[in-house]
């Protein structure tokens, strides 16, 4: 493989690079909160990847690699949330998602895949590369060490050394059992046995060994993954497909038209009631013994569930509907379009109900995320409507791109600050506020909730909470953990 890794020297350089990344990770992360450290670590991983890839892939933007290069934008934007914001919920998701996107991008750039990136086959290839080949090739550094030792030690000494290590390995489980029995048999022996570790090691030594173990583990895994990308790999043999499995299952058009017609009649009646009762805002036309707030609260979960069911009906019908009779299929397209429109009204109803409920009971993470999820579902239905009338349109590819863009936008909305601001506006209008919930928000919300310190009703309790937050911030002084949101919050708290 001319453009791959050449010989043992190439393996060694790759492993030493992975080991340097491991030491960098220990320096940036161990015992420290995430901050500017995460973007720096990702850039170092990119540096090693492109250093190894410089002779294998063109470092120019081509049409074949356009999507792979575009992935750099969401990867970097999600990475810099560790520097810009302090929302730990998103940090947890982004930590995993950035790693996944890095794997996807590097596999696309090195062309170590056979399936299109928007197919389930590509997901299987990603899992195969990470869980099978990476772990398989992680043992190569041990093979290199073995060959290095064999080259510098004569065959007789190497054989003796191997036998000694084998004897030590065999004796270890026997020794553990014997020592356990002897320690139970004699308390004095047990006492001296428990004192041996403290005599040989202190806590600092144990911590150092643990950190070295983590560095080595990461270096082995990262080396294994890079070798998966650049090293020789056995060709994947495609399994033969039986003739019967090639026949695509289709649903009868008449059955689908009947089913969709019945569903759409029910949904049209429901939409009419929604327009009459909910969107008009007329409390006087509600059923007896039901307040407008109760009407707005009830049914939200059910509406979202029905929307998801409709989404599944839509996708399965588009995929499995028979196209043998063009006129019948055109009726299915019209009914699916009507189903999409009715479902959009349901989403708007659920969105409106939740907005009314928030006005009555306040704004929280779960309610704001529910709003975002409904907007996301609406966009998916719009894309599905395009797919209904354009068979060549790629639904999964569009959904993947929209999902990634939507998630990045959600990260940069500064959710905690938005929640705090909405709750403050509600407090000024109604005089009701949940101070305990506001105190649980991240440091992103501090510049907003500082306004409450001037309020006579809740100012004292807010002062106590903010004093505690200021003390916590003062304990985080490492530059690796520097976070812009925390820095801005500290400036407000000091003032």
Instruction: Tell me, yes or no, whether 21 and 33 share the same domain.
Output: yes
Residue 454 lies in a domain: yes
Residue 206 lies in a domain: yes
**Rounded to 10 degrees, what is the CA torsion of 338, 344, 350, 352?**
-120
Instruction: Tell me, yes or no, whether 164 and 259 share the same domain.
Output: no
Q: Which of 473, 417, 422 is nearest to 444 (CA)?
A: 417
Per-residue confidence (pLDDT) for residue 36, from 0 to 100: 93
Kindly report, residue by residue over 4-61, the tens digit of the pLDDT. 445 566 678 888 999 999 999 999 999 888 899 999 999 999 999 998 888 666 667 7
Instruction: Tell me, yes or no, whether 382 and 441 share the same domain.
Output: no
Token pair 């990470």: residue: 130
Confirm if 416 and 87 have CB atoms less than 8 A apart: yes
Residue 244 lies in a domain: no
Per-residue confidence (pLDDT) for residue 238, from 0 to 100: 45
Can you tell me the distance from the alpha carbon of 407 to that of 376, in angstroms, rounded to the nearest whole number?
A: 10
Confirm if 458 and 451 have CB atoms less than 8 A apart: no
Instruction: Tell me, yes or no, whether 420 and 452 share the same domain.
Output: yes
Residue 243 lies in a domain: no
Locate 206 and state its tokens: 């144990």
Burial class (CB in 10 A: 0-12, 13-18, 19+), 211: middle
The rounded percent of the chain whose pLDDT value lies above 70 is 76
Per-residue confidence (pLDDT) for residue 392, from 0 to 100: 77
Instruction: Tell me, yes or no, whether 168 and 201 share the same domain.
Output: yes
Per-residue confidence (pLDDT) for residue 149, from 0 to 100: 65
Confirm if 16 and 220 have CB atoms less than 8 A apart: no
pLDDT lower than 70: segments of the chain: 1-10, 55-59, 147-169, 171, 175-205, 233-249, 276-301, 475-476, 495
Show which of 391, 413, 435 is a domain's final residue.
413
Locate 193 and state its tokens: 């046995």
Kindly report, residue by residue over 400-421, the tens digit of the pLDDT. 999 999 999 999 999 999 999 9
Instruction: Tell me, yes or no, whether 50 and 191 share the same domain.
Output: yes
Kindly report, residue by residue over 171-201, the tens digit of the pLDDT. 677 766 666 666 666 666 666 666 666 655 5
Locate 491 and state its tokens: 């400036």
Domain holding 331, by residue range, is 249-413
Instruction: Tell me, yes or no, whether 231 and 301 share the same domain.
Output: no
Show which of 375, 393, 413 is a domain's final residue.
413
Q: Which of 82, 102, 105 is nearest to 412 (CA)?
A: 82
Confirm if 82 and 38 have CB atoms less than 8 A apart: yes
Following DSSP, what letter does each residue of 271-332 receive, concatenated? HHHHIIIIIT--GGGSPTT--HHHHHHTTHHHHHHHHHHHHHHHHHHHHHB--SSHHHHHHH
Contacts of 273 (CB under 8 A, 6+ apart): none
Instruction: Tell me, yes or no, whether 294 and 421 share the same domain.
Output: no
Show which of 185, 205, 238 is a domain's final residue.
238
Following DSSP, what letter does each residue of 58-109 receive, concatenated? -SS--STTHHHHHTHHHHHHHHTHHHH---HHHHHHHHHHHHHHHHHHHHHH
Residue 325 lies in a domain: yes
Q: Which of 137, 166, 68, 61 is nearest to 108 (CA)?
A: 68
Can you tell me the distance from the alpha carbon of 60 to that of 121, in angstroms, rounded to the nearest whole number?
A: 27
Instruction: Tell me, yes or no, whether 100 and 149 share the same domain.
Output: yes
Residue 101 lies in a domain: yes
Instruction: Tell me, yes or no, whether 367 and 262 share the same domain.
Output: yes
Number of domains in the chain: 3
Locate 427 and state its tokens: 């407090």
Instruction: Tell me, yes or no, whether 151 and 204 share the same domain.
Output: yes
pTM: 0.80
Kindly report, residue by residue over 56-69, the tens digit of the pLDDT. 666 677 777 889 99
């Amino acid at each position: 493989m001319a453009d791959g890794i050449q010989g043992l020297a190439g393996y060694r350089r790759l492993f030493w690079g992975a080991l340097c990344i491991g030491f960098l990770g220990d320096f940036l992360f161990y015992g420290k909160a995430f901050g500017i450290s995460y973007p720096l670590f990702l850039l170092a991983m990119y540096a090693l990847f492109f250093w190894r890839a410089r002779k294998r892939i063109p470092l120019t933007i081509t049409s074949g690699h356009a999507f792979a290069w575009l992935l750099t934008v969401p990867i970097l934007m999600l990475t810099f949330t560790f520097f810009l914001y302090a929302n730990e919920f998103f940090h947890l998701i982004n930590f995993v998602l950035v790693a996944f996107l890095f794997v996807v991008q590097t596999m696309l750039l090195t062309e170590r895949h056979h399936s299109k990136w928007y197919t389930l086959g590509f997901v299987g290839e990603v899992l195969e590369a990470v869980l099978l080949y990476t772990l398989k090739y992680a043992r190569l550094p041990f093979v290199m060490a073995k060959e290095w030792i064999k080259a510098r030690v004569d065959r007789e000494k190497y054989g003796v050394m191997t036998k000694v290590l084998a004897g030590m390995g065999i004796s270890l489980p026997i020794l553990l059992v014997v020592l356990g029995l002897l320690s139970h048999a004699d308390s004095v022996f047990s006492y001296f046995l428990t004192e041996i570790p403290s005599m040989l090691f202190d806590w600092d030594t144990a911590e150092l060994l643990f950190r070295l173990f983590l560095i080595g583990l990461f270096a082995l895994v990262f080396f294994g993954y890079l070798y998966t990308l650049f090293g020789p790999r056995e060709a994947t043999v495609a399994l033969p497909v039986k003739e019967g499995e090639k026949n695509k299952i289709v649903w009868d058009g008449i059955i689908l038209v009947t089913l969709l017609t019945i569903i759409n009649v029910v949904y049209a009646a429901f939409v009419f009631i929604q327009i009459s009762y909910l969107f008009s805002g007329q409390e006087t036309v509600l059923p007896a013994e039901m307040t407008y707030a109760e009407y707005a609260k009830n049914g939200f979960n059910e509406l979202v569930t029905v929307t998801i069911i409709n989404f599944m009906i839509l996708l399965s019908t588009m995929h499995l509907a028979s196209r043998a009779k063009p006129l019948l299929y055109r009726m299915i397209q019209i009914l699916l379009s009507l189903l999409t429109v009715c479902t959009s009204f349901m989403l708007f109803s659920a969105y409106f109900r939740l907005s009314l409920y928030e006005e009555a009971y306040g704004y929280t993470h779960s309610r704001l995320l529910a709003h975002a999820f409904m907007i996301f579902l609406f966009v998916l239905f719009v894309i599905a409507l395009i797919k209904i009338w354009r068979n060549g349109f790629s639904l999964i590819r569009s959904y993947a791109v929209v999902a990634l863009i939507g998630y990045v936008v959600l990260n940069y909305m500064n959710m905690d600050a938005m929640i705090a601001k909405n709750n403050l506006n509600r407090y000024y209008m109604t005089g009701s506020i949940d101070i305990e919930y506001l105190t649980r928000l991240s440091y992103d919300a501090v510049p907003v909730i500082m306004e409450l310190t001037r309020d006579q009703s809740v100012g004292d309790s807010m002062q106590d909470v903010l004093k505690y937050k200021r003390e916590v911030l003062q304990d985080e002084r490492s530059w690796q953990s520097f976070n812009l949101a925390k820095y801005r919050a500290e400036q407000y708290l000091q003032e």
